[in-house]
Amino acid sequence: GAVVSQHPSRVICKSGTSVKIECRSLDFQATTMFWYRQFPKQSLMLMATSNEGSKATYEQGVEKDKFLINHASLTLSTLTVTSAHPEDSSFYICSATAMRNRANTGELFFGEGSRLTVL
C-alpha cells in the first residue's frame, strides 16, 4: 500500500520560533497533498491543499503567511508554522492522493501526524 511518512512526530518549541513539518510519499507520486489540523477529540480540519509546483490553496480562516506550505516535488510537501504561539499547539496531519488507473478515487493516505507544542 501507499506509505506517507511525516516528520517530526513530536516537536516542542518556544513561542516566536518557526517549526517545519515534512510529509513524504515513500512509494508513490503524490500530485496533491493535504494538510489538516486536529484538536483533541475532534475531527480533522482541512488547512490547505498543496499541488506540486504550484501555490497551495488555503481554506478560509487559515493564514497563509502563518502556515507556509511548499510542495517542491511529487514526493515532498512541507508545512512551516512561522512565529509559533501557544494557540498553534495542535496535531497536524498530512495526507496524499495517489493516481491509480489514471483515476483519482479520492482515497487518502495519511502520515502519522505531528504533535506541536508551543511553550
Partner 1 sequence: SQQGEEDPQALSIQEGENATMNCSYKTSINNLQWYRQNSGRGLVHLILIRSNEREKHSGRLRVTLDTSKKSSSLLITASRAADTASYFCATLPAGGSRLTFGEGTQLTVNP
104 lies in the site for partner 1, by CB under 8 A: yes
**Looking at 11-19, 60-68, 69-77, 103-111, which segment touches partner 1 (CB under 8 A)?**
103-111
Instruction: Please state, in angstroms and rounded to a whole number, the distance separating the CA atoms of residues 104 and 37.
Output: 23
115 lies in the site for partner 1, by CB under 8 A: yes
CA dihedral 108, 43, 11, 4 (to 10 degrees): -10
Q: Which residues, in sequence order, are CB contacts of 67 under 8 Å at separation 6+?
A: 35, 47, 48, 58, 79, 80, 81, 82
Q: C-beta of 116: minimal distance to partner 1 in Å? A: 13
Distance (Å) of CA 8 to CA 20, 53, 71, 99, 114: 9, 23, 17, 26, 6
**Looking at 12-20, 68-76, 79-87, 88-96, which segment touches partner 1 (CB under 8 A)?**
88-96
Count of residues of this chain found to bind partner 1 when the rule CB under 8 A is applied:
24
111 lies in the site for partner 1, by CB under 8 A: yes
Binding region for partner 1 (CB under 8 A): 4, 6, 32, 34, 41-44, 46, 49, 91, 93, 95, 104-113, 115
